[in-house]
Amino acid sequence: MQLADLIRSIPKLEHMLMQLPAEVCGRFVLRKFPAHTVIVRKDQTLTSVYIICTGRMRIVNEFDNGRLYAFTDTNLYTMIGETEILAGVQEYGCTVESVTECMTVQMSREDFVLCFETSHVFAKEISKDIAYKLHQSSSKMGENLFYPVRYNLVCFLIAVAQKELAAQTAAVIPLKRQDMADRLGISLRSVNRVIQKLKEDGHVSIVKGKIHIEQQQYIKLTQMVNDLK
């Protein structure tokens, strides 16, 4: 697929770039990344901004004590690197890696600044994207800080199971327990303890090491959420 074809096929992307000169768009590059590829690494010099067009990526932060925290899977048509540039930072703030095969539009740092300063449509879309990400991260941080571990993990399982149960009678949670711990910013030991308790109470099943949630179990989990706050 050519870059121009991709842009025309995505209304939001076409709208974002509508006011940009052809010579600027001509410098953009269509980049495809295989699954499980590091796109950018924390503290690496920020030279490019990426717009995520297809696929799923996850944002990971590693702290000095070695703890990993996987913030979230990214939404489509959001950017990588824009927040750091607008904050005047020279390095990427987080590591971003592909979960599935991904297609991105890549632009240089200089072209991003040029687009932001010359197109109010582009600047408005970037501002909305940053505001949404800040809202999501602050909301998640508040839940992780002030709600019990069991509440956060049950909410996470409900969110994942909801997508799976739309097409089948039982949801199989595709993530490893370490991945869950990373996403919630808690220890693997805490995840194991909560899952064991949920299993004993009949709220989940474990089949070949995988967490299974049937329709009735899903209903029980949603009913118990308010009691866990």
Residue-wise pLDDT for 164-204, tens only, equals: 787 678 889 988 898 888 778 788 899 999 999 999 999 99
Cα–chain-centroid distance for residue 65?
Answer: 23
Q: Are residues 66 and 140 in the same domain?
A: yes
* Residue 75 pLDDT > 70: no
Q: Are residues 117 and 28 in the same domain?
A: yes
pLDDT for 145: 61
- Three-state SS at 206: strand
Q: pTM for this structure? A: 0.66
CB 33 within 8 A of CB 39: yes
pLDDT for 132: 80
Domain-ending residue, one of 145, 173, 194: 145
Domain-ending residue, one of 121, 145, 169: 145
Q: Which residue from 58, 56, 2, 60 is spatially nearest to 28, judged by alpha carbons?
A: 2
Q: Are residues 172 and 219 in the same domain?
A: yes
Q: Which residue from 220, 192, 222 is spatially nearest to 184, judged by alpha carbons?
A: 192
Which uninterrupted H or E stretch holds 92? none
The sign of the CA dihedral 61, 130, 58, 141 is positive
* Residue 64 pLDDT > 70: no
- Three-state SS at 223: helix
CB 109 within 8 A of CB 160: no
Full residue range of the structural domain in which residue 218 is found: 147-228
The residue type at 59? I
